[in-house]
Structure 1
Amino acid sequence: MEDYYAIVHNDFDGTASAAVYARAVGQLPKNTFFTEPTRLHNFLNKLELRGVKKIVMADLGANGSTIDAVVERLKWITSQGVEVQWFDHHVWKDEWKTKVTEAGVKLYHDVSTCGAGVVHKNMNPDDDFSSKLASADCSVDIWLHDDPMGEKLRRVVEYSPDFSWKIHLMEIFYKGVLWNDEFQSILERKVDEELKGYNKLNKYFKVIEIDGKKVAVAIRWRGPPDISYASQYIMTRTGAVVFVSANGKSISFRSSKYEIRRFALEFGGGGHPLAAGAALRVPAIHRFFRRIGVRRFMMNWVTDKVENAIRNAGFQEFRENRAMSH
């Protein structure tokens, strides 16, 4: 097979997507690039093809403010005789799909699974290892929490922010290794750190009641534990059915029972049914007080916004429609 570039999201799902694709074609990419969906247009504009005739993109959603710039660059790339495949599971508008396919891109879009799941279903559905990796990845990426390996591997992937670490993991997954002694050692260290951090969480969240349901609202802290693991801990301890966190610039929603993407849409955001987010800039004065250790002003401001959004959107139970094989 000819050389190809992989361009993926800089998280577990992006890393797993690249590994599943490499196994499907029997070859690691010439280069793997990690980026964010909101920065994709800038990345593509700077990308030098250097003779490569194939580009694979995965786990990178389309963004309304940048899609036209992305499409223009993709048109140029395909005009150079480069084959482009784009695998994604985020919510797309039909017009975005049309623009991308008209630019000559082969788009694989499926909201019922995670990014690695889209690659697996379309490229190598019979590969048992890819099925296991995609299952673990989907479990944490779209907040299904139905595969214990997902919680373990997520900690390993997030052990280091360096892209070289993710490439190292991709190469291990490519070889068909899901777990090894190195991963076990990292997991044990990470869990020890998290256990020490749980004691401080009470200062960072409050629980409110909306329409008879408990909602936990948190102001971000410096981990460990990180926000994902802490959210599960807090919901279990308090009986909250929705977890919301804000860091001053953005807000995120999590639930294992209710469709929370509808809440993110109230803020102009989006995401998955059980994991979504949006931009939310907290007033400077509240952020100032938070920096000096006074969190209640920011907490109250965010809580008011959250309560209004949830009341406007209303609670709706999540109905799983995922059709991915494990």
Structure 2
Amino acid sequence: MDDDLIDSSSLSLSRKSLLPGTGFFYPDSLDDDRDDERVQEAVDGAEVVVIADSDADGLGCVALLREMYDAALDVEPFEEDIAERLASEGRPTPDEEPLDDEDEEDELEQESPVALVGASPHNLEDEMARVAEFADEGVDVYICDLCPDRYKYVEEELNDLLARASSVRWFDHHQWRDEVAAAVRAAGVDLVVGDSDEECTTDVALRSLDYDFDAKFTDLAVVTRDHDLWLREDPRSDDLADYAYWTSSEEYVTIVGAYGADLPDIVEEYIAERRVEKEQLIDLAVSRAEIKQVGPWTVGVTYGRCSQNEVAEALREQGTDAAVIVKPAGSASIRGTDGFEHCHEVAGQVNGGGHPKAAGCKPDIYDDMLDYAHHWSTQGSAAKRVILAAFERVAEEVEAAEEVEETEGDVVDDEEPDGDDADDGETDDEGIDTER
């Protein structure tokens, strides 16, 4: 196949926003060998390995750990590299793949004894298996900002990791199932899960690590939380999120480790340069949005390659309680408001999960490339349909739960025939199913 067919850099913005990036068309089978090499090189000789989500929250934890172990990389080569990227004419646009960590590390020739292995909820068990295979015996392992939906998904890999490592600590703030958390702890992991409404994972790591961190790291946790919990009270939080997405994980960890949330001027210039097209892609996604009424909620639904949080914010300003942003790669982001805190419940019905106000999923509806062709040409119609159906089911469950609460709250006063004061009656809970 002609490489030009999957290279979106020459497309018009409107067409580019409808198709996935080049990496989508790269087969997983070809990725496996490269991923093995990537992890093997990263963990070779490392004293500590951090398996972390590659967003600002997961990488913030890595910055804390490198500070604690006195293992931060030299920041100057990264700043020089950013300046070179700004000066070049062929710098990438926001929708292209992030910079490749392996290539950048080779160029900068820096290694840290605290190795970083980037992961996502979809490949967590694969990265755990690679670390268990390639890391040195007795290494300390941290897992940050990642949550398995079922223990069986990671059971074998976690046991292998525990057999290899001296210790495994796990920091997170997502919605854990009680049985999953119990099984992970029973296996021998020091698991700390923060309140997803109050903390980000960087917060959890900051309070869990036995180290006196400088004030800039406390500030970094606060600003990271501002974006991760979608509080939007600190303008620096958008900069952190965008920078973590657009640059390599190693560069992000090194820069925020040196400067905290107050990014240097060269990074701010880089972010501003990348943000021009980002805003255009946001505008296109917002213009495609449809407003649906599902039960008691107003839901905005759209499609496109874009920054989902900003699109969700724009739809919220139009009066929606929740937003669904379906991506060309087949996944979708679900964002809520104070009027809708069931995002994780909706996502849980369509192969996903997350937080009450922010979740992600990928409906299991893509059997072959014809399904993806339909997905692109109809702007995600099938995905939108199954996700809205999940909203409807959650609406029914919420309504049923509210009816149960009203029933349980009713007090029946039985009047005694002789006029004596009677005990307050209580509703009979037997047989009432209150689980959602």
- TM normalised by structure 2 equals 0.62
CA 1:77 to 1:101, structure 2 compared with 1: closer, same or farther past 3 Å? farther
Match of 1:73 among 147, 160, 182: 160
Name which of 361, 373, 393 aligns with 1:288.
Answer: 373
Q: Which residue does 2:326 correspond to in 1? A: 246
Q: Which of 25, 40, 54 is 1:10 aligned to?
A: 54
Aligned to 2:124: 40
Equivalent position amino acid for 1:20 in 2 = L
Cα distance in 2 for partners of 1:300, 1:38 equals: 21
**1: CA distance, partners of 2:192 / 2:293:** 41
CA separation of 1:143/1:309 partners in 2, compared to 1, >3 Å: closer, same or farther? farther
CA distance in 1, matches of 2:119, 2:230: 22
Contiguous gaps of at least 5 residues in structure 1: 317-326
Aligned to 2:272: 188
What one-letter code is carried by the residue in structure 2 that aligns with 1:270? G
Distance 1:213 1:154, change over 3 A: same
- For residues 176 and 275 of structure 2, the distance between their equivalents in structure 1, rounded to whole angstroms, comes to 36
Query: How many angstroms apart in 2 are the aligned matches of 1:121 and 1:61?
Result: 19
**Shift of residue 271, structure 1, vs aligned partner:** 0.9
**Quick one: structure 1 residues 278 and 303, their matched pair in 2 at CA, closer, same or farther if it must change by over 3 Å?**
closer
Q: Aligned ranges for residues 111-122 of structure 1 at < 5 Å?
A: 111=195, 112-122=198-208
Structure 2 segments unaligned to the other structure (5+ residues): 1-45, 73-111, 402-436
How far the C-alpha of 1:100 sits from its partner, in A, is 2.6
Whole-angstrom distance in 2 between the partners of 1:86 and 1:307: 32
Q: What does residue range 162-201 of structure 1 map to in structure 2 within 5 Å? A: 165-178=248-261, 179-201=263-285
| 1:44-55 alignment, distance < 5 Å | 44-47=128-131, 48-50=134-136, 53-55=139-141
How many angstroms does 1:60 deviate by? 1.7
> In the aligned structure 2, how far is the partner of 1:272 from the partner of 1:304?
18
SS of the residue corresponding to residue 254 of structure 2 reads helix
SS of residue in 2 equivalent to 1:214: strand
Aligned identity (percent) is 19
User: Partner residue of 2:178?
Assistant: 94
Q: Deviations over 1:88-120 (max 9, x none)?
A: 112223333333333332222223411111101
Distance 1:59 1:270 in 2: 13
Q: 1:22 aligns with which of 54, 58, 66?
A: 66
CA shift digits 1:227-262 (9 cap, x unpaired): 2212212221x2112101233743331013121223
Higher percent of residues as strand: 1
- Verify the 8 A CA contact 2:335 2:359 in the aligned structure 1: yes
Q: Counterpart of 1:319? A: none
State the SS of the aligned residue for 1:50. coil
In the alignment, the residues of structure 2 paired with residue 199 and residue 98 of structure 1 have an alpha-carbon distance, to the nearest angstrom, of: 44
In the alignment, which residue of structure 1 is the partner of 2:352? 269
Q: 1:151 to 1:51 in 2, by over 3 A?
A: same
Contact 1:235 1:243 in 2 (8 A): yes
Structure showing greater Rg: 2
Q: State the alpha-carbon separation in 2 of the partners of residues 262 and 279 from structure 1.
A: 14
Contact 1:41 1:73 in 2 (8 A): no
RMSD after superposition? 2.8
- Alpha-carbon distance in structure 2 between the residues aligned to 1:50 and 1:296: 45
Give the direction of change, closer, same or farther, for the CA distance of 1:67–1:184 in structure 2 (3 Å limit): same
**Deviation of 1:277 (Å):** 2.5
Aligned-partner SS, 1:170 = helix
User: Counterparts of 1:308 and 1:85 in 2: how far apart (Å)?
Assistant: 38
Is contact 2:350-2:364 (8 Å) kept? Answer: no
Task: Note if contact 1:268-1:278 (Cα within 8 Å) is conserved in structure 2.
Answer: yes
Aligned mates of 2:372, 2:330 — CA distance in 1: 10
Q: Is 1:234 aligned to 2:305, yes or no?
A: no
